[in-house]
Amino acid sequence: MISFKKMTIGLTAVFTLFTVTAPAAYVHASNDSNNKSIILKVNDPWMYVNSGTDQDIKMLDSEEGATPVIRNDRTLLPIANIVNEFGGTVKWDSSDKKVSIVLNGNSINLWIDSKKAVVNQTEKTLDVSPTIINNRTMVPLRFVSDNLKIKLVWDGDNQIIALYNGDYTNVPTSYGEYFKYESNTPNNGNEGSDTKESTDTVTSDKPIDKNGVLIAVGDRVTYSFFYGKVEKIDRGRVLVSWDSKNNLWLKDEDADFMAALAGIKYKSKSWIDAASITADK
């Protein structure tokens, strides 16, 4: 868990790797400690978790870096961490390929590649089937939220999803102040180096790095302070095993935290957009 109070860190040289704007918490009608909201964005690995006046930013899926995606005009995502944040449980039955979700006194059973669902022992039909994408079980968010009594707000202009669990009023419809990233990369002491600041959205369906170089499995790549080896490729995303770091700029005790800010896992594997990394070729 990353507190917004810690979003800016001073290292050996003072600069900011990532700054995530922390929007003000929205007022809800009750002081019930169970009230909580989660803000997500399509194709973004982060989620804002708001409880009262406390705000945290966490990864939706810290293992594989899965993000909400749109398939056949429906939003699919890995639901486990969201349900857990709201105080519920999610179980996976590999033999039946079944997902069981319990929250707010409601239960949902879903099956991979099936439009059948059982909600509180009543059979229902889905618009889109749960599926597996990059080793992650992805379920239709609207169906799950409606049947778990979670309020869902879709900000289509920004492709942002807001989920409210509890007694909320004055719920906004626009969330443009969320997911504003600024990235400043150090020039490692080279006065002539360019420092790029960008909030571009990756649209390529090929593994092309930020310099236009085509990435292949086995390539060494660099991102922020971290270095790794490409293990898999899925269109414009690559799975990287992050095995080392820039020891000049980053201390050992700061490595895990800064990796989390960058949206990767140090000394582990995580998916990342190819256009945000540099191939060492």
The token pair at 139 is: 């379920």
251 phi/psi in degrees, rounded to 5: -80, 155
pLDDT of residue 22 exceeding 70, the answer is no
Region for residue 170 given its phi and psi (left: phi exceeds 0; alpha: psi -120 to 50; beta: otherwise): left
Distance CA 98, CA 65 (A): 22
pLDDT score for 98: 96
Distance CA 209, CA 281 (A): 11
pLDDT score for 2: 39
Distance CA 263, CA 266 (A): 10
Mean pLDDT of the chain: 80
* Residue 136 and residue 78 in contact, taking contact as beta carbons nearer than 8 Å: yes
What's the pLDDT tens digit per position in 189-221?
A: 333 333 233 333 444 567 888 888 889 899 999
Q: What percent of the chain is modeled with pLDDT above 90?
A: 46
Report the pLDDT averaged over residues 79-98.
95
Distance CA 50, CA 56 (A): 7
Closest CA to 162 of 14, 47, 83: 47
Distance CA 135, CA 144 (A): 20
Pairwise pLDDT comparison (18 vs 271), residue with the higher score: 271
How many alpha carbons lie under 13 Å from residue 60 in its C-beta half-sphere?
25
Q: What percent of the chain is modeled with pLDDT above 70?
A: 79
- Give the range among 118-122, 127-131, 144-148, 187-191 with minimum mean pLDDT: 187-191
